Structure 1
Amino acid sequence: MFRQPTIGSIECRAVDVNGKTLWVVRHPNTLVYTGVDLLGRLLAWEDVRINAAYLEFMPPDSGGVPETTVDPAEGRSYYQAIDDGTGMGSDYLRVPIVVPPYRDSTDEDRFEGNRVTFNVFSTGNLGVNGKPFTENASIFGLALVHAPDMENRAEDIVFARSYGFTPKVKTDMHQIMLRWSHVFGEVISTTAPGNP
């Protein structure tokens, strides 16, 4: 049986215009089945790249956040259910990654660059389905995505997801910053340090 690896972590924070942090979440991420397919395509010289992120949220006054875990078999199909209106009433931002990812090492004696880190900054105040991402919206899930066409999210392929952390509330005075690291060649703890 194929066991989906936890191969890194996310750090998500709310930051104001002066750079002051309101809250921080640290949590592991999980490579989903379609993410494994993307790695195979990359090794086969296909033109694939991680170039977008999803930030899933419940709109203000929605009555709470459902408990959600990562099913590695659910890639784009999970978000398609949200698009079709058959999800839990949530919505998500689809944010392009405009800053190139960088590589560094978790162990310089063994690796030159086995960790890849993506930085994402939230934009806009509406989810892809028009629900408000404004004051008191609750962020509860994240995904990294290969988006071959930024005009057509139905073609997106999900690489990894991060769910199960304590939901965090957005304020109008803060932007969401996401740092997402993937580590290759090491066993990573399933519990990220410092997660509330």
Structure 2
Amino acid sequence: MADDLIFYTNPMSRGRIARWMLEEVGTPYAVRLVDWGDKPADFLAANPMGKVPTIVHHGRVVSEAAAIIAYLADSFPAAGLAPTAEERADYYRWLFFAAGPLEAASTNLAMGVVPTPQQQVMLGYGSIDRVVSALRTAVGAHDYIAGDRFTAADVYVGSHIDWGRQTGALPDDPAFTRYLDRVMARPAAIRARTLDDALAAQIAPHSGD
């Protein structure tokens, strides 16, 4: 039943990442739209941070997009999105690289925050140039981030590369283009974008959360 899995989201947010994963999993889910100015009480009860995406699966709450990706891959093994033993190291390495260094570096750059050399020592990502170099190597090593087949980690990494390209935080690099061409052409990715674009057209534009 759809109400067994509730998806709190806003199409102008990281909720797009979780939507793509839900479409890859293929299980029914109920969508609860979160309005930034009037967040519903049941949503805040589930996630007092008031941040999307958040899912509630059989009463269990999972927030943070990377955690949702990993949770859904493990909870719905028939989708084949969890890593094999051979893929596990790269899967977790690059999933959390994207959740940590990549998101922090690209977000800071998009906001105009450029750390000094002294500040870079304190940051988990160091500099955007180091992040881009590492990411370029990762997506060029295989067709997909953990090997020769698509896994849940590609949902997260691909989403962040796509966002970074759109905002200018990541360069127009051929390695990124080839990778995005592969992952963004997946039927589930296309369905997710179509659903979120239609939802976004129904609501007034807001900044992300």
The TM-score with structure 1 as length reference comes to: 0.26
Structure holding more helix per residue: 2
* Larger RCO (alpha carbons 8 Å, 6+ apart): 1
The TM-score with structure 2 as length reference comes to: 0.25
Query: Larger radius of gyration, structure 1 or 2?
Result: 2
